[in-house]
Amino acid sequence: MDKEKIKKAVRDILEAIGEDPDREGLIDTPDRIARMYEEIYGGINEDPKKHLEIFFQDEKHEELVLVKDIPFYSICEHHLVPFFGKAHVAYIPKGGKLTGLSKLARVVETVARRPQLQERITKIVADALVDVLNPYGVIVVVEAEHMCMTMRGVKKPGSKTITSAVRGIFEKDVAARAEVMSLINCK
């Protein structure tokens, strides 16, 4: 990441909105933002699939695995303000291709740390699991609140957007899909 370019751009924006970038409270802001961007945009050149390469082939578990309530923070690509919420990732492993539970959360994190659309996060996470683990099925559900809909624009605080991506057997097996959805919804 080009930190010097970010610092200059932030300084330019502060000036453009009529602020004094040299006043005490703002003098270090360009540098702070450059460091923050390395963190919150750290997923831009990362392949989320890399997290899934660790399998536990010995376990012959071919039943549902669901990690739910994975918190995430992302940045809306239209307004560059945060949207955040929870992701739920479920899959049915095939041929013993189990991945570490934390790796599912790592996939979500990598994909979220980019200027994003909620739909795209949902799709990329689901497709990463399909590509690497080749499971019987995958369901990814993402629920989020978008600051661009709460602090500005239409101003609807509390509204939630829910997106889902369904792959493999869950596409046809309505009962299996409903079971996962009810597990996601049970508190």
Q: Which of 40, 117, 148, 169 binds Zn ion (CB under 5 A)?
A: 148
How far is it, in rounded angstroms, from Cα 182 to Cα 175? 10
Is residue 186 among the annotated active site residues?
A: no
Q: Is 16 in the site for ligand GTP (CB under 6 A)?
A: no
Helix, strand, coil proportions of the chain in percent (round to 5)? 40, 25, 35
The HSE-up count of residue 187 (CA atoms within 13 Å, CB side) is 0
Retrieve residue 76's tokens. Answer: 């809306």
Q: Which residues are annotated as a binding site for Zn(2+)?
A: 76, 79, 148
Is residue 61 among the annotated active site residues?
A: no
How far is it, in rounded angstroms, from Cα 59 to Cα 34? 44
Distances from the Cα of 119 to the Cα of 63, 142, 175, angstroms = 26, 8, 24
- Closest-CB residue for Zn ion? 148
Bridge partners, 91 (sequence order): 65, 138
Cβ-based nearer residue to ligand GTP, 21 or 82:
82
Cβ-based nearer residue to Zn ion, 62 or 143:
143
The residue annotated as part of the active site, out of 19, 79, 145, 179, is 79
Q: Is 148 in the site for ligand GTP (CB under 6 A)?
A: yes
The minimum distance between CB 158 and Zn ion, in angstroms, equals 16
Cβ-based nearer residue to Zn ion, 60 or 155:
155
How far is it, in rounded angstroms, from Cα 3 to Cα 62? 46
Catalytic amino acids? 76-79, 118, 146, 148
Instruction: Please report, as ranges, the residues that interact with ligand GTP according to CB under 6 A.
Output: 76, 78, 117-119, 146, 148-149, 153-154
